[in-house]
């Protein structure tokens, strides 16, 4: 990797792919983090607490790697989107929590809102400098 | 009380999002420390909120409200313009949170 700023150049494809890969990995770890925090009962259950800490460090590390290349607005939207969907689905499966149709609908609304918000935020940030 | 915990967790998550972006893959020590400390505090308050909220519901409200907070802070303190898309996004997120609240999930 050169230390030149390659964000807007066509030859940064490999860097982009690595960054998006890192972002997806961060999203998966974020799901693990959300479920662990939920399962820890306010950090009174040792095993869930330890896994929360491990996932916390992993998700932040991969997110920060991804955000070196990917715009923070888009990166954060994708990361939190994966986390939200994963937490709802796996919370229902693994932690036996409810996921009703109404809840799913409003969760989908929230995720759509975040995507809209972040894309609008990024449009300005990714405009080439004059 | 769980709403108060959630709001405190949201405020520290905003700090995490900003600091993580500036930490450059954890190479910048100052921003890395800010990221980690904010993340720990956010996590503690999230875990308190999740004693009452289900994970899927509490987690979604936490991250989405942090996203809204980042845009609003940017508009207020960094003079970033609130365009149509941002305002629409904020409105959609907040309606989603209210919807969850009214449906009895939150």
pLDDT digits (tens, 9 = 90+) for A16-72: 889 999 999 999 999 999 999 999 999 999 999 999 999 988 998 898 889 888 887
Higher confidence at residue A7 or residue B105? Answer: B105
ipTM above 0.90, yes or no: no
Would you state the pLDDT for residue A69?
87
Sorted by sequence, the CB contacts under 8 Å of residue A78 that are 6+ apart come out as A23, A24, A27
Q: Does B4 touch chain A (CB under 8 A)?
A: no
For residue A79, what pLDDT band results from cuts at 50, 70 and 90?
Answer: confident
- A130 has pLDDT over 50: no
pLDDT in tens, B60-91: 999 899 989 988 888 888 777 888 988 999 99
Is the model's pLDDT at B105 over the cut of 80?
no
Interchain proximity A60–B57, CB inside 8 Å: no
pLDDT value of position B61: 92
Question: What are the extents of the domains in chain B?
Answer: 2-102
For chain A, the domains span 16-124
Closest residue in chain B to residue A60, using alpha carbons only: B20
Under 8 Å CB pairs connecting chains A and B tally to 176
From chain A, pick out residues whose CB is under 8 angstroms from the CB of B50.
Answer: 37-38, 42
């Amino acid at each position: 990797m050169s230390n030149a700023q390659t964000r807007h150049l066509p030859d940064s494809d490999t860097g982009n792919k690595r960054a998006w890969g890192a972002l997806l990995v961060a999203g998966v770890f974020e799901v693990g983090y959300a479920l662990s925090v939920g399962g820890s009962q306010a950090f009174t259950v040792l095993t869930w607490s330890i896994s929360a800490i491990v996932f916390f460090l992993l998700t932040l590390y991969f997110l920060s790697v991804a955000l070196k290349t990917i715009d923070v607005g888009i990166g954060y939207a994708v990361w939190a989107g994966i986390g939200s969907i994963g937490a709802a689905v796996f919370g229902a499966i693994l932690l036996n929590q409810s996921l009703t149709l109404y809840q799913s609908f409003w969760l989908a609304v929230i995720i759509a809102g975040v995507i809209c918000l972040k894309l609008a935020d990024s449009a300005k940030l990714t405009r080439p400098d004059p | 009380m769980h709403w108060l915990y959630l709001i405190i967790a949201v405020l520290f998550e905003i700090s995490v999002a900003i600091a993580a972006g500036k930490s450059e893959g954890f190479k910048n020590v100052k921003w890395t420390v800010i990221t980690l400390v904010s993340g720990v505090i956010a996590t503690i308050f999230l875990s308190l909120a999740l004693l009452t909220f289900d994970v899927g519901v509490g987690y979604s409200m936490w991250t989405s409200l942090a996203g809204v907070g980042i845009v609003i802070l940017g508009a207020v303190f960094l003079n970033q313009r609130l365009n149509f898309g941002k305002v629409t996004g904020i409105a959609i997120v907040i309606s989603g949170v209210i919807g969850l609240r009214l449906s009895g999930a939150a």
